[in-house]
Amino acid sequence: MASVSEARPFLLTYEDYRALPDDGRRYELLEGEIQVAPAPSTRHQLISRNLEFLLHAHARERRLGEVMDAPVDVILDRGTVVQPDLLFVSSARLGIISERGIEGAPDLAVEILSESTQAIDRGAKRQLYARYGVLHYWIVDPASRSLAEHVLSGSGVCRRG
């Protein structure tokens, strides 16, 4: 019999996640564990808007696919639901867009760092995005005014930028 210190955490499912209150908080489910983030700062929102406008114009002009911004659920599996700040789904994969969210890995996920999310964005989310097949993961760091691109390849994830 496992002791209290050895007990595994109670893992939530997508159904549990959907039952959370609509209280304005930003919830994510990372491998069955709930994460809550405060509202983004105005600087974060301005960066997100500007990047979204650039990506959207580029994708629309070339008919490449759809760009979306948070909050939209990206359902990677029954116990993992994330809300990247921005995402892109290519035209060839538009079928993963459903009424409830993106059901599978987007082609691109973008996270804009904040003090409260940077550890998760650089760690757990980077690993999850690679595991579930997100081809491109951008981490935007407002403090250093930089963008790091992580590209999934057959041999793993390489970092550029």
Write the pLDDT tens digit of every residue in 102-149: 999 999 999 999 998 999 999 999 999 999 999 999 999 999 999 999
List the CATH number of the domain containing 145.
3.90.1570.10
pTM reported for the whole predicted model: 0.88
The DSSP secondary-structure symbol of 44 reads: H
Confidence of residue 156 (pLDDT cuts 50, 70, 90): low
3-state SS class at 58: helix
Residue 159, pLDDT above cutoff 50: yes
Considering its fold, how many domains does the chain have in total?
A: 1
Largest CA distance in the chain: 61
Q: Among all chains, which residue has been given the structure tokens 């250093």?
A: 144
Q: Which domain holds residue 96?
A: 4-160
Strands 136-141 and 108-112: parallel
CA atoms within 13 A on the CB side of 109: 31
